[in-house]
Amino acid sequence: MGKVILTGKGRRWYLRGHPWIYKDDVATGDATPGELVPVEDPNGAPLGWGLFSSQSRIRVRMVTREAEQPNRAFWAERMQRAVAHREQLGLMDPAGACRLVAGDADGVPGWIVDRYAKTLVIQSGTQGADRMRDFLLGLLKEAMPFEPETIIDRSDTSVRKLEGLEKIVEVVDGTIDGPVLVQDHGLLYEVDVFQGHKTGHYLDQSANRLKAAKLASGGRVLDAFAYDGLFGLHAALAGAEQVTCLEQNRGACERIMANAERNGLQDRIKVERVDCMKDMRARAERGDRHDVVIVDPPAFARSKKEVAGAERGYVELNRRAFDLAPDGGAVVSASCSYNVSPRDFVEYIGKAASISGRHVWMEELTRASSDHPHLVTLPETDYLKCAFLRVH
């Protein structure tokens, strides 16, 4: 069995509570890829157990700070805990969807499981999570209140390269024919679990969509960066008079219309396959107004180096959103860039308000849905910000 011994600096870092041990903080240590290893301080005192990576700069991801080696019962308890939390949140309706296991926050580093009705889509980003996949799946199935019909491995994210891992896209269990359908607060929508973004869908925005929909009744809604149009579809279901979804991805645009028809909302939903930045500028110039403007762009800052460019992007985008809002209109503005802090994001929104000359107040700044917990010792898990703004 491998073992990892920290440097003095590594021990100090460990004591701050962050669950990742970096390569430079390891004095000695070797193990096989993905192995569960004991971690010790420079004097040989046990610090817990973590999953080893032979390739990544993140050498160990801590699983427990207890000296005792995690066994089957330990992992079974982690899976039971993850499922129980979602049950408590009211998210285990077999027809619905939720993030069932949220990686480090659920105590399973690098392992994500999203549930779309009775289809589970797993996404592993580490050697450890790959190695434990089948074992964890067995325990997860035991913990679930119903049997999943299909299990898909969608481990195809680019972070796998840092771990020296190939992409995996495969059906692990069961069969799949036709789109996966999810029932979500009265809306039936399809998910492309093989080619869609993330595991097929942006589950982290589930609660924010319902909140935004409450602002939409009787109004005109612009859903920019719409993906499968779930903000817009919920707004239409809540009584919006007209919803325009802007999105550049062809498959997503097709799914918006398919979902609109599936729910009898096609007369109130319009889809335009455009570049949102250009389109919103053109709309503002021709004097279009939308009572609710939703902007949910992809991460503008994927690294610290991109923050300056991201600031320009967020300021420009929010300025256009404000231009499009009538007096008293609402803007729902999201950022999923971890490298842009909530405070920075609000500052960018302020700059946009000042350029547009509008009086903008913040009604609420929310985060990801509660099935995407933020592990307080791992700031990387606090990435999504969603500002509910009012414009005069």
Ligand X SMILES: C[S@@+](CC[C@H](N)C(=O)[O-])C[C@H]1O[C@@H](n2cnc3c(N)ncnc32)[C@H](O)[C@@H]1O
Active site residue 336: yes
User: DSSP secondary-structure letter at 198?
Assistant: T
Q: Among residues 98, 245, 253, 336, which one is catalytic? A: 336
Considering only residues 231, 300, 345, 383, which one is a binding residue for ligand X as defined by CB under 6 A?
231
Stretch in the footprint of ligand X (CB under 6 A) among 39-47, 102-110, 261-269, 296-304: 296-304
User: Which residue number, 126 or 199, has a Cβ lying nearer to ligand X?
Assistant: 199
Distance between CA atoms of residues 16 and 262, nearest Å: 50
Q: Are 21 and 62 in contact (CB under 8 A)?
A: yes
Residue 249 is a binding residue for ligand X (CB under 6 A):
yes
On whether the CB atoms of residues 198 and 299 are closer than 8 A, the answer is no
Site string for ligand X, 36-75 (x = CB under 6 A): ----------------------------------------
Q: How far is CA 177 from CA 117, 149, 318, in A?
A: 14, 12, 41
248 binds ligand X (CB under 6 A): yes
Q: How many residues bind ligand X (CB under 6 A)?
A: 20
- Tell me the C-alpha distance between 230 and 243, whole Å: 11
Pick the binder of ligand X from 261, 275, 285, 364 (CB under 6 A). 275
Least CB distance to ligand X at residue 298 (A): 4
Q: How far is the CB of 210 from ligand X (least distance, A)?
A: 11
Residue with tokens 């993905």: 34
Tell which positions 326-355 bind ligand X, by CB under 6 A: 336
User: What's the token pair of residue 363?
Assistant: 């009604």
Cβ of residue 65: shortest distance to ligand X, in angstroms?
A: 34
Q: Is 93 left (phi over 0), alpha (psi -120 to 50) or beta?
A: beta
Other beta carbons less than 10 A from residue 324's beta carbon: 26
**Residue of 70, 83, 89 whose CA lies nearest to 206:** 89
Which window, 41-49, 102-110, 219-227, 345-353, contacts ligand X (CB under 6 A)?
219-227
Q: Please report whether residue 251 would count as binding ligand X according to CB under 6 A.
A: no
Q: Does 271 bind ligand X (CB under 6 A)?
A: no
Query: Least distance in Å: CB of 302 to ligand X?
Result: 13
Place of tokens 């935004």: 212
Question: Which residue of 31, 51, 207, 230 would you call a contact of ligand X, by CB under 6 A?
Answer: 230
Binder of ligand X out of 20, 49, 52, 227 (CB under 6 A): 227
Under the criterion CB under 6 A, does residue 226 sit at the interface with ligand X?
A: yes
Helices 307-324 and 276-285 sit at what angle, rounded to 10 degrees? 40
The answer to whether 121 and 195 have CB atoms below 8 angstroms apart is no
Other beta carbons less than 10 A from residue 236's beta carbon: 27
Q: Per rule CB under 6 A, is residue 155 in the interface with ligand X? A: no
**Residue 323: CA atoms inside 13 Å, Cβ hemisphere, count?**
20
Per CB under 6 A, does 210 bind ligand X? no
Query: In angstroms, how far is CA 152 from the centroid of its own chain?
Result: 18
The residues of the shown chain that bind ligand X, judged by CB under 6 A, are 202, 205, 225-228, 230-231, 246-249, 252, 275-277, 296-298, 336
Q: Would you please indicate which residues are annotated as catalytic (active-site) residues?
A: 336
